[in-house]
Structure 1
Amino acid sequence: MTASPPAADLSKLRINRDDPPPAVKRALRRVLWLVGAAVLIVAVVVVIGRRGGAVPVQVVTVTTAAHGGEGAAGGGNSGSVAVVANGYVVARTKAAVSAKIPGRLAVLNVSEGSRVEKGAIIARLDNADYAAAVGQAEAELASAKATLIETQSDRDQLQREFVRVRDIRAQNPNLVSPQDVENADSKARQADARVSAQQARVDAAGAGLRVAQANLENTYIRAPFGGTVLRKEAEVGEVVAPSVGGGLTRGAVVTMADLATLEVEVDVNEAYIARIQGGQQARITLDAYPDTSFRGTVRQVVPTADRQRATVQVKVAIVDRDPRILTEMGAKVEFLEAPRAAPAGSPPVVERPRIMVPAAAVRSEDGRPVVWLVRDGRLQKRDVDAGPVSGNFREIRSGLSGGEQLLVGGVETPREGQRVKIGQ
């Protein structure tokens, strides 16, 4: 009898959880090498960027607004720049011309750029019914006048009859009774009253004719002043009305302006408004033509301030007329101060020139205004005394003398000594 093999002892089996397979070990080593290399590359780039790389920046050179500076094109005005402000070209005389009555636009005689004189017909509404109303009113007036002539003739006849009866009664009372005289007088008075009533009807018919003619005239849209059409607001076939009612109804037919009344409206910070007065000379530079300037004069300082923006609106008339100047163009206005004349026998008055820099060049650190200078390719911080913003510029009262290069862009958080290069 054969002996059975011994039973296996499964209690001695173990799973090795600490030693990963060889393939996993190789993959883990590759990942660690890649991560280490990436960290090293990033560190090298950061160190090189901080120590050796120069950041491109935008700078502006500080200039002084001294007396006798260059004048505007067309010349003649010079002086120091007292205030700088930005605004837009507007027409002092401008209107959105609309119809007085609602109707469908039948004729449009102008287009953008058309020159029109005062009273010229710009457009016409469909007016067949209004023309017919005028014809009817004319006929009613003619009929009323004819009836008036008839009643006047009857009145004259009855008045003559009354006079004849009265005279006969006066000559021979036996031929005409008092009652006949009274009847003749009554008929003459009634005829006179009918004439007065008919005259009132004639006046009413005349008034009705004038109303019909006015309604017909209201279908013609005329220019309220001489000027240039800036924009067409409606086309032939569209319904127009004095006030927009929504849908396909249009309000204005055209927008026009008198380009001879162009001026620039700017908002001046109220801290500088004391430097501006009526008639003061100004230099105007359009954003569209930055290399050309035009002479201007202060026409009006609006006698109220904007509480929220802390500004006062100033209107500057354009002295140098130019066909390139269009409404709604952006403009920069430099208000000029005339040099003060020294008393006879005294030395010339030397005034401190004003320094105006872009508002972006002045930053705030701990509540103090500072600027960053670019010197020898590195940044240098300097404290300044800066005025409020006016026209995207700030006046530097102290801290700069002119000629410095100021950082205006390219670095969000500048550091003392940071290497930079001036961008093109």
Structure 2
Amino acid sequence: MKTFLILTAIVATAAGGALAWQQYGASTPQVHYRTTPVERGDLIVGVSATGTLQPEEVVDVGAQVVGRVKEFGLDPNTPESTSREKRIDYGSMVEEGTVLARIDDMVYVAQRNQAKAALARANADLIQLQARREQADAEWKRAQRLRELSVDSISPTAKARSGGPAIKIRGISDSDYVLAKSNFEVAVANVAVGEAAVAQAQSSLDLAETNLGFTIIKSPVKGTIIDRRVNIGQTVVSSLNAPSLFLIAKDLTRMQVWASVNEADIGVLKVGLPVSFTVDAFPDEVFRGAVEQVRLNASMTQNVVTYTVVVAVDNSNMRLLPYLTANVQFEVSKAADVLNISNAALRYQPSKNTMAPQNASRPQEEDNGATKPTGTVWVQQGETLKPIEVQLGTTDGARTEISAPELAEGMQIVEGELSVDEIADVKNPFGPPQFGRTRAR
């Protein structure tokens, strides 16, 4: 038993010494690398932005009168097989002139009837005034005839005097003549006042009938209702701004993306530039469009100036919905079918003890003024790294076009060294997963 314990102690001591030598005595520990493949594909140089899908043309239908919403109109697309009448609601497709809603019209019917009565009273007053004018006209004409009639005679007083002159007698006195003329002119003026009163009453009736017509809300265009902003029984109050009842999109097969673009990027965007974008509703589908308008009215939020860029989108398949958030990529330039690598691989610079001896004293490459700048990528060659000089081309911010005779699609390029946690995770596939992002040194 004693011998067994001695042997166990010797074996444990030897194992511990070997482990200590492996960890602390080795002069050059083995380095593990993280690699990334050379890929072939398209690189797009663009500007990223976030926007919102909008219908190309929207009509806001409001009310011009005050009242309670009595009922909604019938949906013109109600299936014949449906026994229950379908009313106008969200998503209803309407034609121009379709009744959308009716507002309680009791007040406006009463006003219309009152205006009708006022018009009838004005017409009756006018008839009366016209009759008085005819009477005054007859009296005036009679006064004119009497004015022309005169008789020469000698008064009894003059007759008593010898040699007295004869007196001329007229058929109407001057005062009666002037009165008849004045009465006629007043009657003519009263008829003119009566005619104006009739015109005013007619206008009041027209206004009352117009307001009564406004209690029936009709669609001004053909389109789709994307928002209904009132309910049955709700009272709408029209003041300086007409209250909004319905929002109608004229044509949902044509949409727009209103993208907010930073002032630093707005200079490269032009009308007609191709655009691609995605929406969260269809994350695996890429939609296409083109810049239709670059608006000049900038906005500032927290000292950041942005411009609104309108992108025209074909929505013939009706998959895109209004007000979806769009992740927009403006395609400023494009490199098609080129070899490319992640920018992390271009930034990686190994330590000297990991390079081959002939590369350890190699100076850092600099841009020699060629058409394309140069860079260096590293590939693993046994236990050391070998550099490959590459020419750099188009970059999209995450990947860069590269070219060199030694490069081939699928070649593994070093982009970093694995951390201790990553090495342990690789060596022990049955260990617990490591949380957090890996890091390169």
Query: TM-score higher than 0.5 here?
Result: yes
Equivalent residue for 1:196, pick from 187, 192, 197: 192
CA shift in 2, pair 1:290/1:396, >3 Å? closer
**What's the TM-score once normalised by structure 1's chain length?**
0.60
Structure 2 CA distance for partners of 1:84 and 1:351, relative to 1, 3 Å? same
**Secondary structure of 1:303's aligned partner:** coil
1:254 counterpart residue number: 246
- Mark the CA change 1:86 to 1:274 in structure 2 (over 3 Å): closer, same or farther: same
Secondary structure at the counterpart of residue 327 of structure 2: strand
The one-character-per-residue Cα deviations of 1:210-246 (angstroms, maximum 9, x if unpaired) are 3322332332223343321113222212223348xxx
Instruction: Measure, in 2, the Cα distance between the counterparts of 1:355 and 1:95.
Output: 48
Quote the offset at 1:144 in angstroms.
Answer: 0.5
Whether 1:328 and 2:323 are equivalent positions in the alignment is yes
Pick one of 217, 228, 232 that aligns with 1:232: 228
Letter in 2 for 1:416: A
| Unaligned ranges ≥5, structure 1 | 1-46, 67-79, 244-249, 340-349, 363-372, 377-392, 418-424
- Where does residue 316 of structure 1 map in the other structure? 311
Structure 2 CA distance for aligned equivalents of residues 356 and 416 of structure 1:
16
Which structure is larger by alpha-carbon Rg, 1 or 2? 2
Aligned position for 1:385? none
Q: CA deviation at 1:156?
A: 2.7
Alignment CA distance shift 1:398-1:337 (3 Å) = closer
Matches within 5 A, 1:347-358: none
In structure 2, do the counterparts of structure 1 residues 275 and 351 end up closer, same or farther at CA, with 3 Å as the change threshold? farther
Query: More deviation in 108-117 or 96-105?
Result: 96-105
Shift of 1:64: 5.5
Shift of 1:104: 1.4
Conservation of the 8 A alpha-carbon contact between 2:279 and 2:327 = yes
Map 1:106-255 to 2 at 5 A. Answer: 106-109=70-73, 110-172=88-150, 174-242=170-238, 252-255=244-247
Structure 2 residue matching 1:395: 3-state secondary structure: coil
Superposition RMSD on alpha carbons, in Å?
Answer: 4.4
Report the CA distance shift for 1:195/1:162 in structure 2 as closer, same or farther (over 3 A): same
Offset of residue 263 of structure 1: 0.5
Kept after mapping to 1: 8 A contact 2:46/2:333:
no
The one of 82, 87, 90 aligned to 2:51: 87
Is residue 416 of structure 1 aligned with residue 404 of structure 2?
A: no
Cα distance change of structure 1 residues 221 and 96 upon mapping to structure 2, 3 Å threshold: same
Q: TM-score, normalised by structure 2?
A: 0.57
**SS of residue in 1 equivalent to 2:310:** strand
Contact 1:280 1:335 in 2 (8 A): yes
Which segments of 5 or more consecutive residues in structure 2 lack a partner in the other structure? Answer: 1-22, 24-28, 74-87, 151-168, 348-376, 381-394, 404-408, 417-433
- Counterpart residue type for residue 122 of structure 2: A
**Aligned counterpart for 1:268 among listed residues 255, 261, 264:** 261
Which of 394, 397, 408 is 1:395 aligned to? 397
Deviations 1:263-309 (A, max 9, x none): 11112233222221122232344433344444422111121434334
How far is 1:123 from its partner? 0.7
Aligned equivalents of 1:265, 1:314: Cα separation in 2: 6
**Alpha-carbon separation, structure 2, partners of 1:356 and 1:61:** 5
2:61 to 97, 112, 137: 97
Distance 2:297 2:341 in 1: 26
**Separation in structure 2 between the aligned mates of residue 394 and residue 153 of structure 1, nearest angstrom:** 93
Question: How far apart, CA to CA, are the structure 2 residues paired with 1:331 and 1:124?
Answer: 38
Distance 1:177 1:311, change over 3 A: closer
Residue pairs, 1:276-355, within 5 angstroms:
276-307=269-300, 308-337=303-332
**CA distance 1:297–1:405, change in 2 (3 Å):** farther
Equivalent-residue separation in structure 1 for 2:104 and 2:220 (angstroms): 21
In 2 relative to 1, CA 317–136 (structure 1 residues): closer, same or farther, beyond 3 Å? Answer: same
- Asked whether the 8 Å contact 1:151–1:195 carries over to 2, the reply is yes
Equivalents in 2 of 1:134, 1:61: separation in Å?
82
Q: Deviations over 1:160-203 (max 9, x none)?
A: 33123213322447222222221110110111121122223222
Deviation at 1:97, TM superposition (A): 3.2
SS of residue in 1 equivalent to 2:248: strand
The answer to whether the 8 Å contact 2:45/2:396 transfers is no
Change (3 A) 1:62 1:228: farther
Contact persistence 1:87–1:331 (CA under 8 A)? yes
Structure 2: which amino acid aligns with 1:186?
Answer: S
Identical counterparts, % of pairs: 29
SS of 1:101's equivalent in the other structure is coil
Q: CA deviation at 1:151?
A: 0.9
